[in-house]
Amino acid sequence: MVVRMRHTKSATRQRRSHHALSSVAFSKCSHCGTEILPHIICQNCGYYKGRQVIDVLKKLDKKERKKKEKEIHEHEATEASTKKELNPAELSHK
């Protein structure tokens, strides 16, 4: 069967203009800072909305657990060093 009225390229493209995919919006985990999908528990640390929901370390074997604990301690150490408290003399110089 032959098509009687052929659709032009512009008509076809106009019809398909609403088929475009939108990019995924990521948010940052409040605890570890990795990018996560919004409203989802962080797979890296197990935190959601600032509180621990699942224990990620419990599911790992011994070797992976040690590596993960070391990574967490390094992250907390760098976070503590950036949140250094300033005394009034240092604040007056800034």
Model pLDDT for residues 6-48, shown as the tens digit of each residue: 899 999 999 999 999 998 899 998 888 889 999 999 888 888 9
pLDDT value of residue 89 = 67
pLDDT of 64 reads 83
For residue 31, the enclosing domain spans 24-77
The verdict on residue 85 lying in a domain is no
| pLDDT, greater one: 49 or 68 | 49
Is position 67 within any domain? yes
| pLDDT tens column, 52-81 | 888 887 877 888 888 888 887 887 787 777
Q: Is residue 29 part of a domain?
A: yes
Is residue 34 in some structural domain?
yes
What integer pLDDT is reported at residue 35 of this predicted model?
93
Answer yes or no: is 2 within a domain: no
Terminal Cα-to-Cα distance of the chain (whole angstroms):
81
- Residue 13, domain member (yes or no): no
Question: What pLDDT, on the 0 to 100 scale, is given for residue 74?
Answer: 83
**Confidence (pLDDT) at 19:** 93
Residue type at position 3: V
Q: How many domains does the chain have?
A: 1
Does any domain span residue 49?
A: yes
Domain contains 47: yes
* Separation CA 80–CA 74 (nearest Å): 10
